[in-house]
């Protein structure tokens, strides 16, 4: 099992988790109630939401990191919050 470090800049401080399976539900809980456009929410849910994580796991196994940017707000008034997950060690 590989420890992972996950954060959502400006929303969730960097946190160590015993595995990706532990990190994903915590990340999703921070995201799911935010004001995010529906299509973007669907993309984020596929990545880190319930039943998601396969693509993230592949990226971590190949390169040790995965990231995307969460856009919170409306079309003309939004903020960017990078979501980053990295492997922390074996």
Q: Above pLDDT 90, what percent of the chain?
A: 69
Q: Per-residue pLDDT for 31 more than 70?
A: yes
Q: What is the pTM of this model?
A: 0.88
Q: How far apart are the C-alpha atoms of 56 and 75, rounded to whole Å?
A: 27
pLDDT digits (tens, 9 = 90+) for 36-72: 888 888 999 999 998 889 999 999 999 999 999 999 9
Q: How far apart are the C-alpha atoms of 29 and 16, rounded to whole Å?
A: 16
Q: How many CB atoms lie within 10 A of CB 77?
A: 8
Q: How far apart are the C-alpha atoms of 33 and 3, rounded to whole Å?
A: 27
């Amino acid at each position: 099992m590989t420890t992972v470090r996950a954060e959502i800049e400006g929303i969730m401080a960097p946190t160590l988790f015993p595995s990706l399976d532990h990190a994903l539900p915590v990340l999703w809980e921070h995201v799911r109630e935010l004001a995010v456009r529906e299509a973007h929410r669907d993309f984020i849910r596929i990545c880190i939401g319930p039943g998601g994580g396969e693509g993230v796991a592949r990226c971590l196994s190949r390169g040790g990191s995965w990231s995307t940017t969460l856009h919170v707000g409306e079309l003309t008034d939004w903020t960017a919050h990078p979501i980053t997950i990295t492997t922390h060690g074996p």
